[in-house]
Structure 1
Amino acid sequence: MTDKLTRPRRRRRLLRIVLLLAAVVILGTAGAGWWTYSHLDGNIDSVDLDQAIEADSRPPKVAPLARNILVLGSDSRAGANAELDHGDVGGARSDTAMLVHIPEGRARATAVSIPRDTLITRPECKDGEGRSVPSAQRVMFNSVYTLAGPACVVKTVELLSGIRVDHFVEVDFAGFKGLVDALGGVTVTLDKPMTGAKGGLRLDAGTHRLDGTDALTFVRTRYGYGDGSDLGRIGLQQQFLMAMLSEIKKQDVLGNPARLYRLADAGTKALTTDSDLASLSALSEFARSMQGVDPATMETVMLPVAYDKVDRNRVVVAQPQADQLWEALRTDRKIPASAKDSPAKAG
């Protein structure tokens, strides 16, 4: 755990940003024509946060025009994806989570990533079936999604931060398979061979054009490339997503109605949102509102954490740094340097 936390985190942060940018670029590129495909609204899954979370348990909105968006990158491991990780693990998990704060004016943004191994207090929640899930202490953050679903993750983040979550966007990574096929493939370049170990993809070093099926295997490959660690897999996912963004930008999607439809169809199937965003028009408007945010100036920070004293393979929220971070976001102030320091960095 020490080695993982002391390694540079730029790749992890960039992956989270690229996940969001992928959704925004897709929505923004296709948005101008999506009104003609109103029936695609039915592809979008949604979660009614107001119904799932008791109003009196939620933090108040501080700045009416600011927006706080919880972005989850989900990894469904049931059914077709199970073979990529060598076993059917029921349900889904969310190993990527970030709270994106966009202040009034929407000219900048701050993304706070929450480490998956952080031990937190899970509040009492309702799961996707409306059943009550009791509160619990010292549970891993990424277990909340698996046990109780995305609404409980929202409630957990609100309890953790004291910040009202305005919108929720979940990007199903497996959903990018359809996007790759809609684009006609994505080109990636490897500087070393991928051996195909444990059911992974076998590729020589060099440039390859991947279809949707191979792209999904590519981003799930762990043991057959590099050091076989999860960090290595994150690097492959980052590489693939950057290549996909490049493909989207260079294609004349709006000039090709058939491809626009396929891209919109695949994109909506990959998303789950809160009910306020669960339409093509709402998503397009949201994408346009984000266009003023320059990703080059987006500030990315990690929630300050320290090693747990009982289990060194887990981390806990570091204080007072975390409170300083959340307070800066609530009041739209610059995040102080002290709030960006994680004691766990020192190992």
Structure 2
Amino acid sequence: MPRMSGDEHQAHPADGSAAPPYGPARVRRARRSPRSRALRYLTWSALGLVLAGAGGTAYAWQHLDGNIKGTDVDAALGDDRPGAQHDGSMNILLLGSDSRAGTHGQYGKGVAGARADTAMVLHVDKSHKKASVVSIPRDTMVERPRCATGHGSTAPAAHEAMFNSSYEVGGPACTVKTVENMSGLRMDHYLEVDFEGFQKLIDELGGVDVTTHRAIHDPASGLSLDAGRHTLKGKQALELVRTRHGVADGSDLGRIQLQQAFMKALIHRADTVDPLGHPGKAYDLADTATKTISADSGLASTDKLLGLGKDLKGISPARTDMVTLPVTYDAQDAGRVLPLETASHRVWDALRHDRPVPASATHDSVAARTDSPVSASS
């Protein structure tokens, strides 16, 4: 079967020769990052304290509640799924997309070419005190399962399809099904952030501080930054998390490192906002954030998100481990990567048994030679 098309291909060594010198892909959040209250701000403290500061009126609650778009993933996927884990652990698929189309059960053509450019599996351990994040490169060639399009038709299964084509074909439910198919793990929830709303949120925060260790110039995303410290407003922040051509080998592996580094910087910035001291600003942020979020029907309300935030409040950055799915370059297509079967199995098996991902599982991955040129500014 012909390989599915995606973004323009980027040349990098497919035969393993002259591989560029990259750093380790295994990235642990810096210990100097904000403690768990920064994480709670986005999903718990912000909404809870904003509502308290606004008087907790029913209108305010209903308004924020109505912002969140939901998809009934359970109904879309039925019973043909991995079994749920009953040990108290939890798996959440985190997506960053360029469109919110399709979040009312309309997939396929209704998605209008939308793609999930960012995909991470967040595993919360049974104690809810530790977490592991596995980033899945969008250029990964996978076995995409048969998926409903949301228009009464079905997209056939595809052999060696690009991972992010699952969203284009069948929306978030198909992406959930694809992740479950490749990992053997049931996704308890999914959360999606729309890039357009992301840009507005960064502007309302007043920008996010990052440090570039070398210049980044990417004509494709529009990003142009000299080495040094920068305060990125919404447009530049969006350019950064979408940049791939100006870093590393031009594949998605370098972009993943940029995204992980920016996540740390965003947590740093969010930690400076005082919802009680600036209730009006905090409400605007919460309003924008909830407009930016799509979720499965089990999370698509403010009270359910608040509950999730409470569940996650004990997880500190130092207890969150971030890795990239072990992959190798596709010898048949220089712009794509293939999962390392044995190593990937070890990653998913660790999550299935509620254990940390062993460092040795990612040792032979080409992602282990990718180093981020960006860090959060202290």
Tell me, what secondary structure is at the counterpart of 2:160?
strand
Deviation at 1:322, TM superposition (A): 2.5
Give 1:139 shift. Answer: 0.6
- 2:53 is equivalent to residue 30 of structure 1: no
List per-residue Cα deviations over 1:165-219 (Å, max 9, x = no partner).
1010112233222212332444556677777957836777766655444544565
User: Is residue 93–residue 190 contact of structure 2 (8 Å, CA) maintained in 1?
Assistant: yes
Give the alignment partner of residue 95 of structure 2, picking from 69, 72, 82. 72
Residue 333 of structure 1 and its aligned partner are, at CA, apart by 3.7
Query: Structure with the greater relative contact order (CA < 8 A, sep ≥ 6): 1 or 2?
Result: 2
SS at match of 2:127: coil
Report the Cα distance in structure 1 between the residues aligned to 2:71 and 2:264, rounded to whole angstroms.
Answer: 28
1:281 is matched with 303
Gaps of 5+ in 1: 79-88
Secondary structure of 1:164 counterpart: coil
Q: 1:239 to 1:326 in 2, by over 3 A?
A: closer
Corresponding position of 1:268: 290
Counterpart of 1:134 in structure 2 is 156
Determine the structure 1 residue equivalent to 2:374.
none
Q: Matches of 1:218 and 1:319 in 2, distance apart?
A: 31
Q: Any conservation in 2 of the 1:121–1:136 contact (CA below 8 Å)?
A: yes
User: What residue in structure 2 maps to residue 154 of structure 1?
Assistant: 176
Give percent identity, aligned residues only.
Answer: 44
The two structures have a TM-score, normalised by structure 1, of 0.79
- Whole-Å separation in 2 of the counterparts to 1:116 and 1:246: 26
Call closer, same or farther: CA 1:62–1:6 in 2, change over 3 Å. farther
Change (3 A) 1:77 1:268: closer
CA displacement, residues 153-172 of structure 1 (integer Å, 9 cap, x when unaligned): 11111111111110101122
Question: Within 2, Cα distance between the matches of 1:266 and 1:4?
Answer: 42
Which is further off, 129-138 or 194-203? 194-203
**Residues 1:255 and 2:283 are matched in the alignment:** no
- In the TM superposition, residue 318 of structure 1 has moved relative to its aligned partner by 2.3
Q: Which amino acid aligns with 2:42?
A: I
Structure 2, unpaired ranges of 5+: 1-11, 102-110, 370-378
**Does residue 184 of structure 2 align to residue 168 of structure 1?**
no
Matched with 2:23 is 8
**Closer, same or farther: CA 5–31 of 1 in aligned 2, 3 Å:** farther
- In the superposition, relative to structure 1, how do residues 9 and 125 fare at CA in structure 2: closer, same or farther (>3 Å)? farther
1:132 shift after superposition: 1.3
Alpha-carbon distance change, 164 to 258 in structure 1, aligned in 2, over 3 angstroms: same
Which amino acid in the other structure matches residue 22 of structure 2? Answer: R
Q: Provide closer, same or farther for how the CA distance between residues 6 and 152 of structure 1 changes in structure 2, counting only shifts above 3 A.
A: farther
Q: Distance in 1 between matches of 2:323 and 2:256?
A: 18
Cα pair distance change 1:242/1:101, threshold 3 Å: closer
Query: Relative to total residues, which structure has the larger helix share, 1 or 2?
Result: 1
Matching residue's letter, 2:23: P
CA-CA distance at 1:114 after TM superposition: 1.8
How far is the alpha carbon of 1:252 from its aligned partner? Answer: 1.4
Q: SS at 1:276's partner residue?
A: coil
Moved more, 25-34 or 140-149: 25-34
Partners of 2:23 and 2:165 in 1: how far apart?
A: 25
Q: Deviations over 1:286-320 (max 9, x none)?
A: 11211211222322333233444543543333233
Cα separation, 2, equivalents of 1:297 and 1:105: 12
Give 1:344 shift: 4.6
Give the corresponding residue for 1:96.
Answer: 118
Tell me, yes or no, if the aligned pair for 2:25 and 2:257 is still in contact at 8 Å.
no
**Distance in 2, Cα, partners of 1:12 & 1:343:** 14
2:81 is equivalent to residue 61 of structure 1: no
Distance 1:4 1:145 in 2: 31
Distance 2:231 2:205 in 1: 11
2:106 maps to what in 1? none
Three-state SS of the structure 1 residue aligned to 2:298 is helix
**Is the Cα contact below 8 Å between 2:192 and 2:293 reproduced in 1?**
yes
Cα–Cα, structure 1 residues 165 and 190, in superposed 2: closer, same or farther, change >3 Å? closer
Kept in 2, the 8 Å contact 1:11–1:234? The answer is no
* CA–CA distance in structure 2, aligned partners of residues 198 and 340 of structure 1: 29
Instruction: Determine if contact 1:112/1:302 at 8 Å carries over to the other structure.
Output: yes
The whole-number CA distance in structure 1 between the counterparts of 2:166 and 2:27 is 20
User: Counterpart of 1:113?
Assistant: 135
Distance 1:196 1:101 in 2: 33
Counterpart of 2:200 in 1: which secondary structure?
A: helix
Q: Which region of structure 1 is more displaced relative to structure 2, 104-113 or 241-250?
A: 241-250
1:326 aligns with 2:348: yes
Q: Which amino acid aligns with 1:162?
A: G
Structure 2 counterpart of 1:181, from 200, 203, 212: 203
* Closer/same/farther in 2, CA of residues 121 and 291 from structure 1, 3 Å limit: same
Aligned length in residues: 331
Single out whichever of 229-238 and 301-310 deviates more from structure 2. Answer: 229-238
The residue type equivalent to 1:142 in the other structure is N
Query: Retained in 1: the 8 A contact 2:347–2:361?
Result: yes
Residues 6 and 267 of structure 1: CA distance in aligned 2, closer, same or farther (over 3 Å): same
